[in-house]
């Protein structure tokens, strides 16, 4: 088993996650068994309690682990599902060490950062690779070199390189910044030099430098970085911004990254297969038809809070050949601004994502009403699904005070309420329903036609659910429950008389992939295109997601 470690320097946000994902895809294209691990140096055990404004989207895996958004990138680039053990945090490591100390596993020895914490990190990395059956394990180290939080992890990786046999079995890739400054736009290599020096000072010598900047490096700049950073010129890689993140693997491949890593790690020499990936990018770039989708959320100032949704639309563009222009609507502004409401009425489709808390709730309910009454294709996800249910109760059933008991504990009509994971039991408490869950679809329903199957598995992250005591009234009024859990929970509802109106309790965005867009996003885009072009919504089969998470 071999390792490729990706570190970052100078500043955060340089795209280490995309670099790591791209390297993984490059090796997989050569037939390697590859897996990816993310090291997050924060003390949180997982990302579940983090504010999206601080850390972006919380990504949920099949096993229910709430993790860093970079694991979403890994899954999308690899087209594979990862377990929660592939997100290592300081909180997880210290908790494991303390539990061992309390059990007496250390036999009375003084417990220290070295060797106990570093030893735990090495154990976690090895087990992640072994459980995945990987030939190559890619490891992304969060933060930047020099951060006090990441020092134990870098020390563990320095030790691991020696333990696995040295540079033949472990390569370090350092992502750094080459800014362009001054009136003449001169590229500066000094930040890269200092960053590499910092890395070398702790005993790690990079084998490759990924130079991020606004433009391609000149041969002279590559030679300069090579000289001062003691890295071969062929291993100084220029990585300017790309049209999409999915262009990055081929950009790196064109600079010989795959061949260099293959030679550097003495991996089998194989021809890379990029056929399907190139088809996706070719379709993406040639998209001529366009739809405008209104995205109604409350974290719209930080687009990373909704990263998987945006990537799902990219996947649709690269497979359907339809350009998706996302128009952002702040849910708080929508209720009080008629001009914003009118702008929403003019879009081709509306999406309301999941979320927590009361801020912006009434705006999202209004958005669902606009979609329902104006026949605008609609997809409500998790909280968006619940609020579409509230809107239906208020305006169709005329239960004017209807609400979710999460948002109004005193509502006389809790059409969305707290349910237990055990059938028929109330008061769930602090436990969320997380991870991949089985969903049964109603035959010949719209959602059944989209998936092309009756049984699916989708990822969940919620506590509150549709209150079953209201279902009889809902169904009589046209609210069709077309997807349920095996124990009868409402998972999907649709409005049969609407061109496209779907609400789902789960999170389909987590399972969309570049080569296979999620059926619900593809369905929304097709319906939006039909609305824009003034034709009837097609029931033509849409691309499906051939992953173990969806296929029963």
**Which residues are the active-site residues?**
382, 507, 509
* Cβ count within 10 A of residue 224: 18
Residue among 347, 375, 391, 356 at smallest CA distance from 532: 347
Give the DSSP letter of residue 426: B
Residues in the chain: 552
Q: How distant, in Å, are the alpha carbons of 261, 312, 390, 504, 548 from that of 483?
A: 47, 22, 18, 8, 19
Residue among 61, 115, 113 at smallest CA distance from 85: 61
Q: Which residues contact 494 (CB under 8 A, 6 or more apart)?
A: 445, 446, 447, 480, 482, 501, 502, 503
The answer to whether the CB of 452 falls within 8 A of the CB of 541 is: yes
Kindly calculate the radius of gyration of the chain based on its CA atoms and give it in whole angstroms.
Answer: 25
- Outline where DSSP puts E strands in 442-506: 455-462, 464-466, 480-484, 490-494, 501-504
For the chain, the maximum distance between any two Cα atoms, rounded to a whole number of angstroms, is 75
Alpha-helical runs (H) found in 56-113 = 70-78, 90-103
Specify the 3-state DSSP secondary structure of 205.
coil
Residue among 546, 353, 363, 364 at smallest CA distance from 462: 353
Beta bridge partners of 3: 137, 170
Cα–Cα distance, 485 to 439 (Å, whole number): 5
Is the torsion defined by CA of 534, 539, 541, 545 positive or negative? positive
Terminal C-alpha separation, the chain? 31
The answer to whether the CB of 266 falls within 8 A of the CB of 300 is: no
Q: Which residues contact 11 (CB under 8 A, 6 or more apart)?
A: 144, 177
Interior angle at CA 292, CA 291 and CA 298, nearest 5: 145
Cα–Cα distance, 348 to 313 (Å, whole number): 14
Q: For residue 286, what are its two tokens?
A: 């040639």
Secondary structure in 3-state letters for 258-326:
HHHHHHHCCCCCCCCCCHHHHHHHHHHHCCCEEEEEEEEECCCCCHHHHHHHHHHHHHHHHHHCEEEEE
């Amino acid at each position: 088993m071999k390792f490729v470690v990706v570190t970052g320097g100078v500043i955060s946000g340089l795209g280490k996650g995309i670099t790591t994902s791209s390297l993984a895809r490059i090796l997989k294209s050569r037939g390697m068994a590859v897996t990816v691990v993310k090291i997050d140096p924060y003390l949180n055990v997982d990302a579940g309690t983090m504010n999206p404004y601080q850390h972006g989207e919380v990504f949920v895996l099949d096993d229910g682990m709430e993790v860093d958004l970079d694991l979403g990138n890994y899954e999308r680039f690899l087209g594979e599902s990862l377990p929660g053990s592939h997100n290592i945090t300081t909180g997880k490591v210290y908790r494991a060490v303390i539990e061992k100390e309390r059990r007496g596993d250390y036999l009375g020895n003084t417990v220290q950062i070295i060797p106990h914490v570093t030893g735990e990190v090495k154990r976690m990395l090895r087990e992640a690779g072994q459980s995945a059956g990987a030939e190559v394990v890619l490891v992304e180290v969060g933060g930047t070199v020099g951060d006090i939080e990441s020092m134990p992890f870098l020390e563990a990786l320095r030790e691991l390189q020696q333990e696995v046999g040295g540079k033949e079995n472990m390569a370090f890739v350092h992502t750094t910044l080459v800014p362009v400054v001054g009136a003449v736009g001169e590229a500066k290599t000094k930040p890269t030099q200092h960053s590499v020096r910092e890395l070398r000072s702790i005993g790690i010598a990079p084998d490759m430098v990924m130079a991020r900047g606004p433009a391609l490096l000149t041969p002279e700049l590559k030679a300069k970085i090579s000289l001062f950073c003691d890295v071969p010129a062929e291993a100084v890689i220029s990585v300017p911004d790309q049209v999409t993140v999915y262009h990055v693997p081929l950009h790196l491949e064109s600079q010989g990254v795959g061949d260099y890593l293959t030679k550097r790690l003495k991996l089998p020499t194989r021809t890379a297969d990029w056929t399907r990936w190139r088809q996706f990018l070719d379709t993406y770039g040639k998209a001529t038809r366009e739809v405008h989708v209104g995205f109604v959320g409350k974290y719209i100032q930080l687009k990373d809070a909704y990263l998987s949704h945006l990537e799902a639309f990219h996947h649709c563009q690269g497979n359907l050949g339809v350009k998706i222009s996302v128009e952002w609507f702040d849910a708080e502004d929508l209720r009080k601004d008629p001009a914003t409401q009118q702008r929403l009425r003019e879009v081709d489709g509306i999406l309301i994502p999941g979320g927590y808390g009361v801020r912006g709730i009434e705006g999202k309910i209004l958005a669902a009403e606009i979609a329902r009454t104006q026949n605008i294709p609609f997809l409500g996800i998790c909280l968006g699904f619940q609020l579409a249910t509230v809107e239906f109760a208020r305006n169709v059933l005329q239960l004017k005070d209807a609400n979710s008991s999460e948002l109004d504990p005193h509502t006389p009509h809790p059409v969305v309420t707290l349910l237990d994971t055990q059938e028929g039991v109330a008061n769930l408490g602090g436990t969320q329903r997380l991870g991949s869950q089985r969903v049964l679809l109603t035959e010949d329903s719209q959602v059944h036609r989209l998936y092309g199957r009756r049984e699916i598995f989708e990822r969940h992250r919620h506590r509150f659910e549709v209150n079953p005591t209201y279902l009889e009234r809902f169904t009589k009024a046209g609210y069709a429950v077309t997807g349920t859990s095996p124990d009868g929970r409402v998972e999907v509802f649709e409005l049969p008389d609407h061109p496209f109106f779907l609400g789902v309790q789960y999170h389909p965005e987590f399972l969309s992939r570049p080569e296979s867009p999620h059926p619900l996003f593809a369905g929304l885009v097709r319906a939006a295109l039909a609305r824009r072009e003034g034709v009837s919504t097609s029931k033509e089969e849409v691309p499906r997601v051939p992953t173990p998470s969806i296929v029963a």
